[in-house]
């Protein structure tokens, strides 16, 4: 599997994916790591590890389209089979998504379709749900809405804060993202309606 990673910040999901590949959990090459933020710890780490790390700073482009064109240019050269969004804080245009239909993955820190958008852990905490979790899904034209590949549940405890809940969800995110990529790298799948079905 040729894998590209897009991130904007901390990069713990990227690190978990990289570690799993390094440990031989699944067979993949990270062919590009792209950050729209020069100061993202995740892109510094990618560089230290010796991966192809690209800062494509959206603030240096006049338009959203021109920034995205540069991201697409780097991806076209890297030829990824799949693109993993790992805390990438930019919306992708419909044409970007169409170019990589069912090949772009995202991770979201709630059990979708509950609590899409920003601060999902805080939203879940404030709502008072007793279970939350995380979702790895294909990216479609709608926010946090594409077909679901893997979910993992996390109990909300009475003594939680939004921060302690987020920390426990993050542990499961790392497992879920690797699980999704293991499946995609080893099994065929089909999509029926919204359902992602892995074949034996
Ligand atoms: C994670 O909580 C992920 O679910 C969300 O953004 C955060 C990224 O964290 N999409 P990290 O940069 O992978 O540590």
Q: How many CA atoms lie within 13 A of 18 on its CB side?
A: 22
Q: 200: CA distance to ligand 1 center in Å?
A: 30
Helices 162-186 and 120-127: crossing angle in degrees, nearest 10, is 120
| CA trace torsion 39, 54, 22, 180 (10° rounding) | 90
Condensed to tens digits (0 to 9), the pLDDT of residues 35-75 reads 999 999 999 999 999 999 999 999 999 999 999 999 999 99
Residue 132, SS3 per DSSP: strand
pTM score of the predicted model: 0.97
Which pLDDT score, from 0 to 100, does residue 200 have?
83
Q: 86: CA distance to ligand 1 center in Å?
A: 6
Condensed to tens digits (0 to 9), the pLDDT of residues 94-106 reads 999 999 999 999 9
Whole-number average pLDDT of the chain: 97
Question: Closest ligand 1 atom to the C-alpha of 170?
Answer: 2
Token couple for 127: 């709502």
């Amino acid at each position: 599997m040729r894998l590209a990673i897009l991130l904007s910040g901390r990069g713990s999901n990227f690190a978990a994916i990289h570690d799993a590949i390094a440990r031989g959990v699944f067979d993949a090459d990270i062919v590009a790591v792209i950050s729209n933020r020069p100061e993202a710890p995740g892109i510094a780490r990618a560089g230290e590890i010796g991966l192809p790390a690209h800062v494509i700073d959206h603030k240096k482009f006049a338009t959203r389209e021109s920034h995205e064109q540069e991201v697409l240019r780097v991806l076209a050269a890297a030829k990824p089979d799949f693109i993993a969004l790992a805390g990438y804080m930019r919306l992708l245009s419909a044409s970007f998504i169409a170019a990589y239909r069912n090949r772009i993955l995202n991770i979201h820190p709630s059990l979708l379709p509950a609590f899409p958008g920003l601060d999902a852990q805080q939203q879940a905490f404030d709502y008072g749900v007793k279970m939350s979790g995380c979702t790895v899904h294909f990216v479609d034209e709608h926010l946090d809405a594409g077909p679901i590949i893997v979910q993992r549940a996390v109990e909300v405890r009475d003594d939680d804060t939004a921060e302690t809940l987020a920390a426990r969800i993050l542990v499961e995110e790392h497992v879920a993202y690797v699980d999704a990529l293991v499946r995609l790298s080893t099994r065929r799948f089909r999509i029926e309606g919204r359902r992602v079905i892995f074949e034996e």
